[in-house]
Amino acid sequence: MHTDTHTHEAPAMAPGTIITVTEAAAGKIRELLSEEGKTESGLRVFVQGGGCSGFQYGLMIEEGSGVGDQAFESNGVRLFVDPVSISYLKGAEVDFVDTITGGGFTIKNPNATSTCGCGSSFTA
């Protein structure tokens, strides 16, 4: 009797998923969408020039995808990413951190070669 024993590691992300959203961030995003009466909308995640490290992240509520956008879903939240930003955001994770001084969204980006103290700016 011959048995094959193959071990397969589960991929870190579902196929086709570029950006993920933590459960904490997803809950906060759903709360914001609900407050604005935009439960069918999603979150645009983008990168733009500027910030103290060369690039900075942006997040905004978006009702639908634009031309060339890639759309994803993570933890029940729709995400839209433009074709320029996608190359900087592969494997990134949107999180929500609540601290004594206030809360806010952060992006953990494996493509950033360095970041600055503000947490919203990076170098690629």
Ranges of H-type helices in the chain: 23-35, 83-89
CATH architecture for segment(s) 20-123: Sandwich (2.60)
Domain boundaries, the chain: 20-123
- Residue by residue, pLDDT tens for the chain (124 residues) are 544 444 433 334 445 568 999 999 999 999 999 999 998 899 999 998 876 667 888 999 999 888 899 999 999 999 999 999 998 899 999 999 888 887 889 899 888 776 655 455 445 5
- Pair of tokens at residue 87: 């190359």
Which residues in 25-41 are b (16+ Cβ under 10 Å) and which e? bbebbeeebeeeeeeeb
SS3 content of the chain, % helix, strand, coil (to 5): 15, 40, 45
DSSP helix/strand/coil, 10: coil
